[in-house]
C-alpha cells in the first residue's frame, strides 16, 4: 500500500493548490501532515511538552557590523533528547528559527527567495521584533543538522548554525551462563546460557567468539553474566560483569 500513498502525496504536492508548501494561505492539511511526517524522520519530530529534558534560550538579532546572528551559535545534543527552544527576537527586523538538515534549508531558502512565504510548521517559528516563541523538538536521530533563518538575505548574513546530535549509547542486556569449554588458541568459548534477549535467541548451549581480554577472565565451570553481540557476523562475547 505504500507506493500508492506516496504517489498520491507526490501528486498532491505537485498540484497548484499545494505548490506553496506549508505556509500561510492554507491547503490540504492531511496530505501535508503526511509529507511532514516523512520528511521529519531525518532530523527528528515535534516534541511533547511533558517530555522536555532541557530548555534553551535563543536570541535573534542584527549585529553592529551589519550581520545577523543567533545566540547561542551552535548546539550539541544526544540522540533521543527532547529540547524546548525559547526564542526571542531582540533585533529590529523580522527573523525566524527553522530546524532542518542543511540540504533541506538550502532548498527551502531557494524556494522562499522566489515566493513570499511564511513558515507555519512545528520545526519553526517566525517572530516580529520584540516577540518571543517556542519550538519543542525531539532529536530522534544522530547526525549533523542545522537551524537557520530562511528569510531572503538573512542566511547569507550569518543566521544559521550547526546542530550536532550524538549517537545514543546502546544499552545491552546481560545474560547468565556457565562456561562449558574454552579454546583459547582459536578464541572460542562454549557457554550454557539463558535466553539472549537482545538477539532474540532461546536458552541453549552455544559457541561464542571472544577477544583475548575476555578469554583471560574465563575458566571452565565458571558462572558468568555476559553480553553477546554479532561482530562481523559472528556471535561474540563483548562484555562481562
Q: Which of 71, 101, 95, 67 shows the shortest CA–CA distance to 85?
A: 71
Domain locations in the chain as residue ranges = 43-166, 175-240
DSSP string, 147-164: EE--STTTTTTT-EEEEE
What CATH number has the domain spanning 43-166? 2.60.40.420
Sheet strands side by side (includes 45-46):
45-46, 132-138, 82-89, 54-62, 68-71
Dist CA 11 CA 99 (whole Å)? 26
The reported pLDDT for the residue numbered 119 is 64
What CATH number has the domain spanning 175-240? 2.40.50.320
DSSP string, 185-233: GGTEEEEEE--BTTTTB-SEEEEEEE-HHHHTT--TT-EEEEEEEEETT
Indicate the pLDDT class of residue 16, thresholds 50, 70 and 90.
very low
pLDDT in tens, 108-139: 888 888 876 666 789 999 999 999 999 999 99
The reported pLDDT for the residue numbered 138 is 96
- Residue scoring higher pLDDT (222 or 111): 222
pLDDT in tens, 24-65: 444 444 554 445 444 556 889 999 999 999 999 999 999 999
In this prediction, residues 167-188 reach a mean pLDDT of: 92
Check whether 22 has a pLDDT greater than 70.
no
Amino acid at each position: 500500500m505504500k507506493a500508492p500513498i506516496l504517489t498520491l502525496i507526490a501528486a498532491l504536492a505537485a498540484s497548484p493548490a499545494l505548490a506553496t508548501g506549508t505556509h500561510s494561505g492554507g491547503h490540504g492539511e492531511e496530505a501535508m501532515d503526511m509529507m511532514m511526517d516523512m520528511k521529519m524522520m531525518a532530523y527528528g519530530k515535534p516534541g511533547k511538552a511533558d517530555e522536555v529534558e532541557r530548555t534553551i534560550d535563543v536570541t535573534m538579532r542584527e549585529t553592529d557590523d551589519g550581520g545577523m546572528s543567533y545566540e547561542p551559535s551552535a548546539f550539541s545534543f544526544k540522540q533521543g533528547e527532547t529540547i524546548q527552544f525559547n526564542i526571542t527576537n531582540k533585533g529590529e527586523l523580522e527573523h525566524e528559527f527553522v530546524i532542518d538538515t542543511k540540504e533541506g534549508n538550502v532548498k527551502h531558502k531557494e524556494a522562499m527567495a522566489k515566493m513570499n512565504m511564511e513558515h507555519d510548521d512545528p520545526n519553526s517559528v517566525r517572530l516580529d521584533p520584540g516577540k518571543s516563541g517556542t519550538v519543542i523538538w525531539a532529536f530522534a536521530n544522530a547526525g549533523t543538522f542545522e537551524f537557520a533563518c530562511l528569510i531572503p538575505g538573512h542566511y547569507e548574513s550569518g543566521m544559521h548554525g550547526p546542530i550536532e546530535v550524538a549517537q545514543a549509547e546502546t544499552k545491552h542486556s546481560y545474560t547468565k551462563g556457565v562456561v562449558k569449554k574454552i579454546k583459547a588458541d582459536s578464541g572460542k568459548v562454549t557457554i550454557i546460557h539463558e535466553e539472549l534477549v537482545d538477539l532474540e535467541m532461546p536458552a541453549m548451549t552455544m559457541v561464542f567468539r571472544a577477544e583475548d581480554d575476555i578469554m583471560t577472565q574465563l575458566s571452565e565451570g565458571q558462572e558468568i553474566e555476559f553480553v553477546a553481540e554479532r561482530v562481523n557476523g559472528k556471535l561474540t562475547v563483548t562484555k562481562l560483569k
